[in-house]
Amino acid sequence: MRLDRLLAVGAVLLVGVALAIACNDFSLHGNSDDDTALDEGSDDLYSESCSIDYGADPGCDVSNPGCQMAHMLNKDRFGHPAECDCAPVLQWDADLAAVAQAHSRDMCDRDFFSHTNPDGQDPFERLNEAGIHWVAAGENIGQASGYGVDESLVVIETSFMDEAECEQNHRSNVLSRNFSHVGVGVYKCGNGYVYVTQDFAALSFDELRQDPHEYCPSLSGN
């Protein structure tokens, strides 16, 4: 596996109540031509420390690669209860998924790799255009080549989670206690690249945490 690009951009805005926004992207290349099936396993993902079942059905069709990645996101939350500060189970949102899928396909069709598309739209403008009423949002994007779709999901998510703890990056989006909903778009391009877009959101101010984040004080607003 060769990491080709790694970029991170983040911002926090205050609009009455803390509104967390973070965007991150990366691109990598591998050397495998074969699909590797995701290990769905039969792990018990009930967190005793959080009293949350991270193995609960997020509400999507597991035959959809995006849904498979949503399960991976919740498994990552299960594996890091202190760092995610007992974040809720990410629930699948069809509208977020549609925006994410469209962006992954757009990156293929128009040959770019960025949160901002050639029309100048950033992730939050795309969510607004889709009529999604969000109060906090974040986006991770990944690009892999040399892998099948299933293996690309594993490699991309592993790369996200290999990043530093308690910093504004892909990992903090995955583990953010303020993100309760997710949509993931996965698109295999004719050039061999697999594009992944993860769009996270909180859909009401009641979902936002105001208490200090003990494990990651720098992320208390996230």
Pairwise CA distance, residues 81 & 13, whole Å:
26
Pairwise CA distance, residues 28 & 83, whole Å:
26
> Using one digit for the tens of pLDDT, what is the confidence trace for 1-53?
333 433 333 322 222 233 334 566 555 554 333 333 344 444 589 999 999 99
Residue type, 112: F
Joined together, the tokens standing for residue 26 give 């990366």
> Using one digit for the tens of pLDDT, what is the confidence trace for 75-124?
999 999 999 999 999 999 999 999 999 999 999 999 999 999 999 999 99
Residue entry with tokens 């849904």: 67
